[in-house]
Structure 1
Amino acid sequence: MRGWIPGIKLNTIYAKLLGRYLMLTAFGTSLMAGYILWSFHDYFMRSRQVDLDNWTSALSESVADRLEEKDIKQVKVLVQRYGAPQTITLRVFNPQGSLLATSDPRLDSQVKDWSQVPGIREALQHRVKQGVAKGVLSNSDRLYITRPIERNGQLLGVIRMSMTLEQFQRQFARVIWSILGTLAVTILLCALISSRFARSLSKPIEIMQNFAIRLGGGHFGDKLTIHENNELDQLAAELNRMSERLASLDKERRVFLANVSHELRTPISNVQVTVDALKAGASEEPELRDRFFQTIENETKRLSRLIHDLLDLGRLEAGVFELEKQPISLHGLINRAVNALEPRMLSLGISTQVNVGNLMIQGDPERLLQAILNLLDNAIKHSPANSQVSISGYSQGKQAIIQIQDQGKGIKEGDLPRIFEQFYTTDPARKGSGNGLGLAISKRIIEAHQGSIIASSTSNQGATFTIYLPIIRNS
């Protein structure tokens, strides 16, 4: 690929892409890991709470039977049987909140006020209470449930079961570290993949950026080659087309400047030579003086026409030329053009044949008249004496078609593609009769009216210029 700028390393795009990929990856994986951990924790807590609820619900019936029989000894046996040291603590209280039986008598003997233990007050008020709280005399978290023991609407006592969460918390901590390790490995792998992916995207973009910088520096015509099989290929193709177009425009600009310089230099040189001749004494001979003054006048008019045409062409190409659009009769427009050039055609023995329908078009009448006059002027220049210029106008669909045909030698096939270029002339020997801007100006005017113009020719049978303009209606 021509157009690379050595020494320039543009890693900004790569860094931004990689940073965004990593941020999205880290956010997505962290969100997923957090959801998994939360789901696991929530599932464990819910399942343990359900277990506690089922266990206390079943035990409360057995304990109720014993309390109705006032068999406290059997209550203690049940509590000891279903309580598990270090993991599950089971307690039974009487309706006044005093402890009747416990699976951990050594610890519970130190408690003075059981009403401060979470859940006891709610159970004494005939409500089931469950949740997470600190141990009775420890700081470890425990899952608990308190349930009133009722029979026939009478409160017989309260059962409270609690389960330590230390083992679960240790297991959960191991799960957290496992997930964090997996998360770190995932992010690392994603970073490697993202780095490769970001580089595959940023490299062609950086190449195109460098290519655009070269275009901005005036290095036109370079070729950009990128094979990505995506939108970047299309962008590269557009940049190549832009480069070719800019190269073409730059070439046209150089040719245009050369032609302008030549066209300006010729009349100015002629005027300067004539003035020098007059200063040298030619003014003393009346006939020679008058001829020199006529030369100065002709060259001045030629220079004025050239400057006027250049200004018109510049405004048309820049798109700053405001058109005063209005409905125009095509027949009337053609008649105005023919009448303006009729004296000149009569002096050259050239006749016209006009066959224009009653069509209405929308446009600036003076500018369209200028375009038609330029085309008729070109036809007259290339028409032999006693020949005819034909002008026809008709409608075809939503377009008005105007054809101007002369009976001259025609235009060579190799000249047709360039006939509307600035300063281009098909006959170098006749270059002094015009500045080569008339057809270019006509083309720009017609295109400004959303129309088009083409030229065609047959050897020794004249040339035909065909104009297409939007039609309003048939009159």
Structure 2
Amino acid sequence: MYFVGITFLMMVVVLGVFIGLLFLVTNFELLSPEREGHLFPLYFILFLSLVIGATLAFFVGKRILQPIGDLRQAMSNVAKGDFTIQLQENQSLEDVEELYHAFNVMVEELNSIETLRNDFVSTISHEFKTPIATIKGYVQLLQNEQLTAEERQVYLERMLDGTHQLTYLTDNILKLSKLENQGRGLDFQAFRLDEQIREVILFLQPKWEQRHLILDLDLPRTIYNGNEEFLYQVWLNLMDNAIKYSHEDGNIHIHLTQKEQGVVVTISDEGIGMSEEVTNRIFDKFYQSDTSRKQKGNGLGLALAKQIIELHQGTIEVNSSPDKGSQFKLFLPNIPKNS
């Protein structure tokens, strides 16, 4: 509209100028062959037309077409895989400034997606490669006919562990994908939240008994309206981490408090804790502070838990210090049924 308005205004001005010149030529007979220099007005009109045309062309090229050309070049670079390019947003035309801003935001998002894709490919390839290589190695060992029954049983159990690791990774990826596609269309139903947490504790009993951990529980009867299937996954991930990173003979505290606005669940341990850098990134997909992979995991559990809590319009916070343990505090607001 800005360009159209300027063009229309220029045409009106040019029309006015030519009408005025035509009026002068007609009334004063400036183009009469009998008058000396009678062609001068014609030359003046031609010169004025060239000046106006050149001015309009320069304006259109500088203010309208050049920004479009810059955008075309930038988009060509993005098409070639350059997601670092940014356009100068400080432009004289508001529409061009908004267009450049939208382009810069788009490139930043594409750059984030590309980074996530690269991390995803490298992490997934590593996570799948390790158990697959393990299973392959034990399959080759089982081909040895001189193995004892005990050795065969050990190898089979280790192969089973590898398949469990692959299944766990695949399940978490599918659950994350399901959450991202499903959005806020979760089915909320009323259920006993305290009983659900107890079920998870019983399910993980072999793990915490093996490490001789002491559980401090405070789980009063609590009815909550939420998605029972996904919330079970939250408690499973958080408690499994608390067990995994606790010291032998340590303590784990699990408290449930019902408030007017909702419920608060705190899960804390006295284990190895985390640095501030790790604390700031633990909810990122595929992030693992233990790069050596000594601890089992794939960096998806906490990202999944955070997304589930947010789909319940809640919050999850972590407070941790190295060698002092970690505390996860979750708030789940009261949500109307089937909201």
Establish whether residue 246 from structure 1 lines up as the match of residue 246 from structure 2.
no
Q: Give the Cα separation in 2 of the matches to 1:462 and 1:277.
A: 41
**1:205 Cα offset (Å):** 3.8
1:26 corresponds to 2:11: yes
1:221 and 1:246 in contact (8 A); partners too: no
Does the CA contact (< 8 Å) of 2:238 and 2:302 recur in 1?
yes
Equivalent position SS for 1:436 = coil
Which residue pairs with 2:91 in the alignment?
228
Report the Cα distance in structure 2 between the residues aligned to 1:397 and 1:223, rounded to whole angstroms. Answer: 48
- Spell out the pairing of 1:3-152 with structure 2 (5 A cutoff): 21-23=6-8, 25-26=10-11
How many aligned positions are there?
Answer: 316
Aligned: 1:270 with 2:255: no
Higher relative contact order (CA 8 A, sep 6+): 2
Gap change, CA 1:350 and 1:235, over 3 Å in 2: farther
**1:375 equivalent in structure 2:** 238
- Indicate conservation of the 8 Å contact 1:315/1:321, yes or no: no
Task: Give the aligned residue type for 2:113.
Answer: L
| Deviations 1:241-282 (CA, angstroms, capped at 9, x unpaired) | 442342233122112211111111111111111111111325
Partner Cα distance (2:14, 2:219) in 1? 77
Sequence identity percentage: 28
Give the deviation of 1:320 after TM superposition: 6.5
2:156 counterpart residue number? 293
* Structural RMSD (CA): 3.8
Superposition deviation, residue 374 in structure 1: 0.6
Is the 8 Å Cα contact of residues 283 and 302 (structure 2) preserved in structure 1?
Answer: yes
CA 1:405–1:208 in 2, change beyond 3 Å: closer, same or farther?
Answer: farther
Q: Deviations over 1:377-407 (max 9, x none)?
A: 1111011122222223446784644322111
* Residue 466 (str. 1) matches residue 322 (str. 2): no
How far does residue 447 in structure 1 lie from its aligned partner after superposition?
2.7
Aligned mates of 1:421, 1:223 — CA distance in 2 = 26
Structure-to-structure mapping, 1:308-457, within 5 angstroms:
308-319=171-182, 323-355=186-218, 361-394=224-257, 398=261, 400-429=263-292, 431-457=294-320
Q: Is the 8 A contact 1:22 1:187 kept in 2?
A: no
Asked if the contact 1:18/1:198 (under 8 Å) is kept, the reply is no
SS at match of 1:433: coil
Show CA shifts across 1:282-323 (max 9, x none). 55x211111111112121122122222222223334456952
Taking a change above 3 Å as real, the CA distance of residues 410 and 423 of structure 1, as seen in their structure-2 partners, is: same
CA 1:428–1:185: 2 relative to 1, 3 Å? closer
Q: Deviations over 1:146-186 (max 9, x none)?
A: xxxxxxxxxxxxxxxxxxxxxxxx99x759x9xxx99x979
> Given the superposition, is the C-alpha separation of residues 205 and 446 from structure 1 closer, same or farther in structure 2, using an over 3 Å criterion?
farther
Name the counterpart of 2:41: none
Match for residue 5 of structure 1?
Answer: none
Distance in 1 separating the partners of 2:65 and 2:97: 14
Query: Which whole-Å CA distance do the structure 2 matches of 1:393 and 1:28 have between them?
Result: 77
Structure 2 contact 3–64 (Cα < 8 Å) conserved: no
Pairwise CA distance, 1:362 = 4.3
Classify the secondary structure of the residue corresponding to 1:472. Answer: coil
Name 1:280's counterpart in structure 2. 144
With the length of structure 2 as denominator, give the TM-score of the two structures: 0.76
Instruction: Describe the SS at the equivalent of 2:81.
Output: coil
Report the 3-state secondary structure (helix = DSSP H, G, I; strand = E; otherwise coil) of the residue aligned with 2:280.
helix
Unaligned 5+ segments in structure 2 are 31-43
Provide the secondary structure at the position in 2 that maps to 1:431.
coil
Higher strand share: 1
Task: Report the 3-state secondary structure (helix = DSSP H, G, I; strand = E; otherwise coil) of the residue aligned with 1:409.
Answer: coil
> What letter matches 2:135 in structure 1?
V
Contact kept in structure 1, 2:270 and 2:324, CA below 8 Å? yes
Residue 255 in 1 paired to residue 240 in 2?
no
Gaps of 5+ in 1: 1-15, 38-169
Quote the Cα distance in structure 2 between the aligned partners of 1:241 and 1:400: 38
Cα pair distance change 1:444/1:21, threshold 3 Å: same
Give, as a single letter, the amino acid of the residue that structure 2 aligns with 1:264.
F
Distance in 2 separating the partners of 1:210 and 1:315: 38
Q: TM-score, normalised by structure 1?
A: 0.56
Residues 453 and 466 in structure 1, CA contact (< 8 A), matched pair in contact too: yes
Of 188-197 and 429-438, the range deviating more from structure 2? 188-197
CA distance in 2, matches of 1:191, 1:23: 16
Alignment CA distance shift 1:350-1:187 (3 Å): farther
Q: Distance in 2 between matches of 1:429 and 1:226?
A: 44
Q: Distance in 1 between matches of 2:184 and 2:149?
A: 46
Distance of 1:447 and 1:233 partners within structure 2: 34
- Whether the 8 Å contact between 1:22 and 1:191 is mirrored in structure 2 is no
